[in-house]
Amino acid sequence: MVFSWLHLAIILFLIGGLLFAGGPLILSYLVAPRARGGDMGMPYECGMRPYGGSWTRFGINYYVYALLFLAFDVDVLYLFPVATVYRATEGWLPFLEMFIFLFVLALAIIYFWAKGVFTWPRKVS
Amino acid sequence: MNAIPAELLRIIIGLVAIAVSVGLIGLVMVWVERKVAGHIQRRPGPYEVGPNGLIQPLCDALKLVGKQLFMPKGADPILFWLAPVLAFLPVLLLFLPLPVGDGLQTLDVNLGLLLILAFSGLAVLSVLLAGWASNNKYGLLGAARGVAQAVAYEIPLLLSVLAVSFVAGSLDLAHVVKLQGTWPWNWNIMTQPLAFLIYIVSALGETNRAPFDLPEAESELTAGFHTEYSGMGFGLFFLAEYANMVVVCSVATALFLGGWHGPVLPGPVWFVLKVSALMLLMVFVRWTYPRVRFDQLLVINWKWLLPLAVANLLLTAFFVKLAQFA
């Protein structure tokens, strides 16, 4: 791959973002007071002493959505190259292919809908 | 003779201009949001510092710099400080392909839309890191919700954007704008009203704005994922949120509202006016509608927005072909 101006611009802009974010943080580190001691380091839970750590086992009850999202996201990504060439194509075949692609996607939604993934509280786990 | 290449000069000028405008946008938006919120709740909002409280955000920024940077006991120090930096890191880059006027953009990126969509995905990562690393239960809940929200709103957003690029046949924002006309009935919103609606709703979710501000949810989770951040750590999250709002509104303007096109006034003025109108809309929505519940959010997306977006894209593809033969 050729190193173009765009790549340089992306790198420069990321460095710019880093400086823009880091500058105030470093300035704040230099000028701000540094009090410590007492309960200052206690995680804030509205004044109550935290009971147990927060890095515990935690029910992520939307993981089915996350799996669905992964599948859909990758599928939708395939449509981006199609979008750039779709107008230039001839005949109805490209539309038929699009139809099949999106129809399968829609079938997936209907399948999960019927299976009860989208109803709360969830029927399937 | 000419030692500095023109492209490099262009990139650096763009970078400086964007950095300055992001800072200014942050200050102005803090003032606008507090003023609008105040008047909606029948109080004057910031009033004392400067005329109509105009200097207030500047004082707030200085105050934030002067506040101690706390980190709770037992937090992960690297991830904890990485999160606010990561939240702001891609923000300047998101402005890179935005066409403010005819030819007035940093670089003409032929995949500009994809660039914006790809790098705006990093915002979720910073929410997750911030919530997880701060060793706080509110933070953890906020992070979990933030990820769920991203999972919900990414796909309708992509599909609604795709509908426009199918019509334009390009992912280049400047090209999409050029295909639209001067008057409102020549804009893409007339041919793609459903996509515009889906885009705006998903964009509210994408930028964590009310009614989809579940990761923050100040009335239930204190401040959600940034509960433990004080001073500038909090300030960076805030600034990144406003900058992301501007990016989302600018993309909406370029794709649906004709970008720099408009009668009488010069192009950049129209662009700024349209973006400001959309930003005001987002602020009004925040102070008008109550927050949705977690399961409602997922249902809105998967039962409404996603099927509608798929149907919309299919219809668009059909009409593009129909227009070819007509």
Interface mutation vs chain B, best among A1, A13, A122, most B CBs within 10 Å: A13
Residues on chain B touching A25 (C-beta within 8 angstroms): 69, 81, 84-85, 232-233, 236
Look at residue B11 in the predicted model and tell me its pLDDT: 82
Count CB neighbours of A38 within 10 A. Answer: 7
Residue-wise pLDDT for B307-325, tens only, equals: 899 889 888 888 888 887 7
Tell me whether residue B195 is in a domain: yes
Q: What is the mean pLDDT of residues B291-304?
A: 83
Asked if residue B60 is part of any domain, the answer here is: no
Partners of A80 on chain B (C-beta within 8 Å) are 114, 162, 165, 171
pLDDT digits (tens, 9 = 90+) for B105-141: 777 778 888 888 888 888 888 888 888 888 888 888 8
Q: CB-based contact (8 Å) between B26 and chain A?
A: no
d(CA B317, CA B121): 27
How far, rounded to the nearest angstrom, does the alpha carbon of residue A59 sit from its chain's CA centroid? 19
Q: Is the pLDDT of residue A125 over 60?
A: no
Interchain CB contact of A32 with B (< 8 Å): yes
Which tens digit of pLDDT belongs to each residue from A72-114?
888 888 888 888 888 888 778 888 888 898 888 888 888 888 8
For residues B73-90, give the mean pLDDT.
86
- Is the separation of the CB atoms in A41 and B72 below 8 Å? yes
Percent of chain B with pLDDT over 90: 2
Instruction: Give the dihedral sign, CA B318/B321/B325/B326.
Output: positive
- Candidates A28, A43, A83; nearest CB to B162: A83
Q: What is the mean pLDDT of residues B21-31?
A: 88
At B31-40, the pLDDT tens digits run 998 899 899 9
Whether B55 is in a domain gets the answer no
Q: For position A81, what pLDDT does the model report?
A: 86
* Whether pLDDT at A124 is above 60: no
How is residue B288 written in tokens? Answer: 């008008």
Which candidate in A25, A89, A100, A118 is best for mutational testing of the B interface (most B CBs within 10 A)? A25
Of residues B100 and A119, the one with the higher pLDDT is B100
Tell me if chain B has a CB within 8 Å of the CB of A64: no
**pLDDT at residue A121, rounded to an integer:** 66
Question: Is B51 a domain residue?
Answer: no
Q: Which of B148, B60, B100, B102 is nearest to B246 (CA)?
A: B100
Give the model's pLDDT for residue A105. Answer: 84
Say how many domains are in chain B: 1
DSSP tally for chain B: helices H, then strands E:
14, 0
Whether A114 contacts chain B with CB within 8 A: no
pLDDT at B2: 61
Tell me what the pLDDT averaged over chain B comes to.
85
Band of residue A54 on the pLDDT scale cut at 50, 70, 90: confident
Task: Note the pLDDT of residue A123.
Answer: 53
The pLDDT value recorded for residue A118 is 75
- If pLDDT is split at 50, 70 and 90, which confidence band does B142 have? confident
Chain A CB within 8 Å of residue B278 CB:
no
Calculate mean pLDDT across residues A49-64: 75
| pLDDT bucket at A122, cuts 50 / 70 / 90 | low
Residue B292 is classified by DSSP as P
> Which of A29, A35, A84 minimises the CB distance to B171?
A84
Q: Is B308 on the interface with A (CB under 8 A)?
A: no
| pLDDT for position B152 | 81
Which pair of structure tokens corresponds to residue A92? Answer: 């109805």
| Residue closest to A73 by CA, chosen among B152, B219, B75 | B152
- The pLDDT assigned to B299 comes to 81
Q: Does B24 touch chain A (CB under 8 A)?
A: no
Residue B97 is predicted with a pLDDT of 85
The answer on pLDDT for A44 being more than 70 is: yes
Cβ neighbours of A87 in B, within 8 Å: 166, 169, 320, 324
Do B83 and B133 touch, CB atoms closer than 8 A? Answer: yes
Residue B304: which domain range?
A: 70-325
Q: Which of A113, A116, A61 is nearest to B151 (CA)?
A: A61
Q: What is the mean pLDDT of residues B58-84?
A: 85
- As a whole-number percent, the residues of chain A with pLDDT over 90 amount to 0
**How far is the alpha carbon of A1 from chain B, nearest alpha carbon, in Å?**
16
Q: For the CA atoms of chain B, what is the radius of gyration?
A: 20
Is 60 exceeded by the pLDDT of residue B59? yes
CB contact under 8 A, A46 and B12: no
Domain contains B47: no
Cβ–Cβ gap B138/A24 under 8 Å: no
Mean pLDDT confidence for B212-221: 78
Which pLDDT score is estimated for A75? 85
**Long-range CB pairs of A61-66, under 8 A, 24+ apart, other chains included:** A61/A122, A62/B148, A62/B151, A62/B298, A64/A112, A64/A117, A64/A122, A64/A124, A65/A117, A65/B148, A65/B151, A65/B152, A65/B298, A65/B302, A66/B147, A66/B148, A66/B151
**B219 at the A interface (CB within 8 A)?**
no
Is B222's Cβ below 8 Å from some Cβ in A? yes
For residue B302, the chain A residues in CB contact (below 8 A) are 65, 68, 109, 112-113, 118
- For chain B, percent of residues with pLDDT exceeding 70: 99
**Domain contains B24:** no
Q: Count of alpha carbons within 13 Å of B191, Cβ hemisphere only?
A: 22
Q: Per-residue pLDDT tens for B230-262?
A: 888 888 888 888 888 899 999 998 888 887 887
Within an 8 Å CB–CB cutoff, is residue B154 touching chain A? yes
**Interface contact B72-A41, CB threshold 8 A:** yes
Query: In Å, how far is A69's CA from the nearest CA of chain B?
Result: 6
Predicted local confidence at residue A1, as pLDDT = 61
Residues from chain A that touch B109, judged by Cβ atoms under 8 A, are 6
